[in-house]
Amino acid sequence: MKQTYEYKVTIYREPLLGSIFLGGSRVDPERYSNFLNKNAADGWEVVTMERESRRELLFFKREAFLTIMRRAVA
């Protein structure tokens, strides 16, 4: 029997206030780990992720992670 999956695409980033006050905002590894662990507890497995830096409000940069996860469908 062939296994089927459902997929979830998320963009994880820190709040914009860090960018405004600090001129740039990087993802906190501890918070991102907590985000991943919460999803793992629900059965999601990371397939791939990509780091990106986005401009916000013309002057501010904000780091984000595009994360694709999957879990088996019963």
| 3-class secondary-structure state, position 44 | coil
Radius of gyration of the chain (CA): 15
- Domains contained in the chain, number: 1
CA 43 to chain centre: 16
pLDDT of the residue at 15 = 67
Using one digit for the tens of pLDDT, what is the confidence trace for 1-10?
789 999 999 9
Using one digit for the tens of pLDDT, what is the confidence trace for 39-53?
999 999 999 999 887
Instruction: pLDDT band for 58, please (50, 70, 90 cuts).
Output: low
Residue 19 CA to residue 40 CA, distance in Å, equals: 29
What lies within 8 Å, CB to CB, of 55 at 6+ separation is 61, 62
Residue 65 CA to residue 56 CA, distance in Å, equals: 15
Instruction: Print the domain residue range for 38.
Output: 5-72
Using one digit for the tens of pLDDT, what is the confidence trace for 14-25?
766 544 444 446
